[in-house]
Amino acid sequence: MRISSKITKAINDQIAYEASSIYAYLAIGSWCERTGYDGSAEFFFEQANEEHLHMLKFIHYLNNAGVETIIPATDKPQAKFDKLESTFQAGLRSEQTVTKLINNLVELAEKEKDRATYSFLQWFVSEQTEEETLFETILQKFEIVGRDKLAVYQIDQSLASIRSEIMSKDTQQQQQPSAN
Ligand code: FEO
């Protein structure tokens, strides 16, 4: 399989962003664990695992295409937050950035007429919809349930069930036959 140098560079840049996301989520998870938000700590450590999976998918893709994969150093991530809600706001901002980067990659694959990369990227397009929905849903809980100590505690404790609800909705949508 042939991959252009532009696509190779863009995927290596993406590997770098996924790597920085792993450490960003580990840092957030650590802050949550230290602060006593156990549900959120578990949530962000799981997010870090997902980012690792994303990074590996890109690494395997370049390696299988026989081009050079660059494993990056990463900057020190933000480690302190003023409140739990801020951690999910940071998560949403990061996922919005990833969505833009994936969309740019898709556009580049179209421009280069690289159908293999275009098709490989479709998994990430769906994944980003799910990730953004997940963070938006959690942030919405702060609006609905509230921001006092008890409300924040309840949100912290409900994160695992919010994640599985979003994931099962997404699986159902993928299994539904297309309307056209
Ligand atoms: Fe790898 Fe959350 O995007």
Q: How far is the CA of 10 from the centre of ligand 1 (A)?
A: 15
Confidence of residue 168 (pLDDT cuts 50, 70, 90): confident
* pLDDT value of position 177: 66
CB distance 29 to 49 below 8 Å: no
Task: Tell me, in angstroms, the distance from the centre of ligand 1 to residue 178's CA.
Answer: 26
- pLDDT value at residue 79: 97
pLDDT category of residue 88 using cuts at 50, 70 and 90? very high
54 lines ligand 1 (CB under 6 A): yes
Name the CA radius of gyration of the chain, rounded.
18
The mean-pLDDT minimum among 34-38, 94-98, 175-179 falls in 175-179
The pLDDT of residue 175: 77
**Is the pLDDT confidence value at 180 over 60?**
no
pLDDT digits (tens, 9 = 90+) for 131-142: 999 999 999 999
Report the alpha-carbon distance of residue 77 to residue 121 in Å, rounded. 27
Ligand 1 site, residue 21, Cβ cutoff 6 A: yes
In CATH terms, the fold of domain 5-175 is Ferritin (1.20.1260)
Helices (H), 36-114: 38-64, 84-111
**CA distances for 2 relative to 61, 86, 104, 123, 130, angstroms:** 11, 43, 20, 20, 30
